[in-house]
Amino acid sequence: MDQYDYIIVGSGIAGLYTALLAQGQGSVLILTKGGIGECSSRHAQGGIAAAIGIGDSPQIHYEDTIAAGAGLCDLDAVRILVDEAPDRITDLINFGVHFDTVDGEVALAREAAHSVPRILHAGGDATGEHIEITLSRLAMLAKVVILEYCLATEIIVDDGVVRGVRALDSRTGTVEEFRSRAVILATGGGGRLFNFTTNPDIATADGVALAYDAGAEITDMEFFQFHPTALRLPGVTPFLISEAVRGEGGILRNADGRQFMYDYAPEGELAPRDVVARGILAEMKKTGSDRVFLDVTHLPPRRVTTRFPHIYRFCLVNGLDITESPIPVAPAAHYMMGGVKTNAWGETSIEGLFACGETASTGVHGANRLASNSLLEVVVFAKRILEGKKEGVKPPDASEREHFSLSEQEGQNALENVPRLSLLALQSLMWDKVGIVRSGEDLAEAASILASWQKAVDKPSDRPFHEFANLILAGRLMAEAALIRKESRGAHFRSDFPQPSPDWLKHIIFRKPD
């Protein structure tokens, strides 16, 4: 049994950044279920938002974030996010991240729902990769123990206090126990719940499942962001086509070649992501096509290739020159806005358990994440975890909050009537029933099937089985939260309740019964 001051689960930007800060306060262990380079952060193209430009201010950034969040942002958390953003950018620069510049000044781009250009990029459309590689190099040189291919399977809690983690070494099949005074979940999102996603295979909602099983609060799971534009080519895995492409002047056209987004929103291509995703879905249905087209052929080719080198090269390798032909795109699951509920210091409802990054729900995103606020959220709230530990901040009191429990579902009449359990069946169910457009009937069916599947799952024994079980649990939390919320708000859209309701200006919080 090994003893550490901090155990960090996950090796993306959230985990690495936290580890580099934590090493100044004690011994640090990073547990990562794959290699250190396997993470969703590496795929982040859009950049990182911060109010550092002329004509911008934290107040304008605050107002844009609140507007995108559709009434459910935590106002204090958003204020922290925007006020601390410039300092965290400085931290990243000091760590060695080289942001793109123009004439010696940091280059700032504009993305949908931002009032002004405030998005910093590194390597054009490879921001996440540049930050992750920089931090991973530093972590491997630091006083940080990194155990690869070790999947956290249980958070050890005694008398309401975290004591450590149990983890499966997927190479040997052995389970080991690691003790610590703090556990920080930085495991990323759950995009593998859906059969069309921009997320890598590792995005299996592990942190949400670990925290729920330990008794922590899980909130806002109904709000999952579907990116409007993922590459849709036969035989090619969905690949993110950054929001910044539309910010640079990219035009969305339907299968007939007509620009259509102004039919759905006055902002056109720069409308919020949920509006654009639903607009694309509606246009696909009208034209009987499985895609629309994002057209940048009217832009100077050099501007396209230098601004989006990663996207340009990926498409070119797959036979598409985006400077000459429109990009076929369709929506795909992208970002989990809900997750493990934390306070402003990153602590959950269990003493000693923290969360940051996509697996956490800090309250800054509300019902709809503002583009490029996610990388910013990582560095702002990871820093606050360590500041809170230094100042001895107490965990939040969850006793007075309303909690929901997963319903006692028995499945559809009998287990034999439920679709056969498989990853593909799960992903298809979630896409069809708990996707971009939902209904009460579909959600109830999905919740029932997921409950039956969960009862049918044996105790996991290897990494794929653990990940599968985690996805089923996260899927249930998402489906039941979406069924409970009888309105449409932000990324959550129900065809049977198509308007927002003031009665639902509140959060759905799940906690496992004692």
Closest CA to 436 of 281, 329, 260, 295: 281
The rounded distance, in Å, linking the Cα atoms of 276 and 268 is 8
> What's the topology of domain 415-501?
Methane Monooxygenase Hydroxylase; Chain G, domain 1 (1.20.58)
**204, 192 Cβ separation under 8 angstroms:** yes
Domain 227-332 top-level CATH class: alpha beta
Q: C-alpha 31: how far from its chain's center? A: 20
Is the CB of residue 260 less than 8 Å from the CB of residue 252?
A: yes
Specify the pLDDT at position 45: 61
3-state per-residue secondary structure call for 131-196 = HHHHHHHHHHHCCEEEEECEEEEEEEEECCEEEEEEEEECCCCCEEEEEEEEEEECCCCCHHHCCC
- Residue whose structure tokens are 């006083």: 143
- Locate 108 and state its tokens: 């700032």
* Contact yes or no for 208/497 (Cβ under 8 A): no
Catalytic site includes residue 137: no
Please answer whether residues 475 and 430 qualify as being in contact, where contact means their C-beta atoms are separated by less than 8 angstroms.
yes
From the list 88, 110, 273, 369, the catalytic residue is: 273
The answer to whether domain 227-332 and domain 415-501 are alike in fold is no
Exposure class string for 79-89: b at 16+ Cβ within 10 A, else e: bbbbebbeebb
Span 102-158, pLDDT tens digits: 888 899 988 878 999 999 999 887 888 889 999 999 998 999 999 999 999 999 999
Map 218-240 to HEC letters: EECCCCEEEEEEEECCCCCCCCE
Domain boundaries, the chain: 227-332, 415-501
How far is residue 424's CA from residue 3's CA, in Å, rounded to a whole number?
39
pLDDT tens for the chain, residues 1 to 514: 589 999 999 999 999 999 999 999 999 999 999 988 676 555 556 689 999 999 999 999 999 999 999 999 999 999 999 999 999 999 999 999 999 998 888 999 888 789 999 999 998 878 888 899 999 999 989 999 999 999 999 999 999 999 999 999 999 999 999 999 999 999 999 999 999 999 999 999 999 999 999 999 999 999 999 999 999 999 999 999 988 899 899 999 999 999 999 999 999 998 888 899 999 999 999 999 999 999 999 999 999 999 999 999 999 999 999 999 999 999 999 999 999 999 999 999 999 999 999 999 999 999 999 989 999 999 999 999 999 877 776 666 676 688 999 987 554 444 457 888 999 999 999 999 999 999 999 999 999 999 999 998 888 889 999 999 999 999 999 999 999 999 999 999 999 999 999 999 999 999 999 8
Residue 57, CB-side half-sphere exposure with 13 Å CA sphere: 4
